[in-house]
Amino acid sequence: MTDDQLLRYSRHILLDDIGIEGQERILAAHAVIIGAGGLGSPAALYLGAAGVGQITVIDDDTVDLTNLQRQIAHTSERVGSSKVESIRAAVHAINPEVRVTTLQQRADAALLDQLLPEASIVLDCCDNYRTRHLVNAACVRHRTPLVAAAALRFDGQLMVIDPRDPESPCYACVFPPEASFEEEQCATMGVFAPVVGTLGSLQAAEALKLLAGCGQPATRRLVMFDSRRLDWSTMQVAKMSNCPVCSNHM
């Protein structure tokens, strides 16, 4: 670690649970972020600020004026530009040392199979139920830790999946992929801006804990947030023995 890095990351290094070794693990890590919107914005900014060595951001959308109410990595000047390039500019404004790879496309199985063998962790910041299951299945296949979150209206939820842990349930253990699900979008239902900031920041926190090897990750739990009442609740979740996704990867 250089003198500049020792200074930049000194507040992490001062933490006994992280120290120099933990920060070096963060610097050597590769995080893949699916989605560059409300959740992906704070997640990418905090991972970049913390010094994650390589960040790959995947999103096929462009910045719209309606995004600016909550998607804090984007600016008025970048309306009309790709969200992934806007994220790259925002991260580099904080920490130019981070290698940010941008992919302006939708995540599919082929792309994830290409990226995940090289990835240290995946953050699912998308707003699509089908994509969440696709990402979960790819992470199970490649035994890559996954931090998944979702937010709508005043509510949010977070789940950490670690396929390296034989007792860790996957996303499909809790939300069956074959279930009938009516997709609800914030474009029609609305979303309270700080909710995505809160959940995206928590995704970054859980990812950094896993990368640095500190703390207790939120595996085997579904964490739910109600911002109307400032209420947090946690539901214990168990691995399904007949899960169609992870039962064959035990």
Please say whether the beta carbons of 147 and 123 come within 8 A: yes
Q: What angle do CA 132, 249, 27 make, to 5 degrees?
A: 65
CB atoms within 10 A of CB 15: 12
Q: Is 66 exposed, middle or buried (0-12, 13-18, 19+ CB in 10 A)?
A: exposed
Please say whether the beta carbons of 67 and 74 come within 8 A: yes
Dihedral angle of Cα 55, 59, 63, 64, to the nearest 10 degrees = -140
- In a 3-state reduction of DSSP, which class is residue 155? strand
1 Cβ contact list (under 8 Å, min separation 6): 9, 20, 23, 24, 27
- In a 3-state reduction of DSSP, which class is residue 213? coil
Which helix (H) or strand (E) is 152 found in, with range?
strand 146-152
- 246 classed as catalytic: no
Dihedral angle of Cα 212, 39, 105, 27, to the nearest 10 degrees = -20
Handedness of CA 118, 175, 199, 110 (dihedral sign): positive
**Which one from 126, 186, 243, 246 is the annotated catalytic residue?**
186
Catalytic amino acids? 186
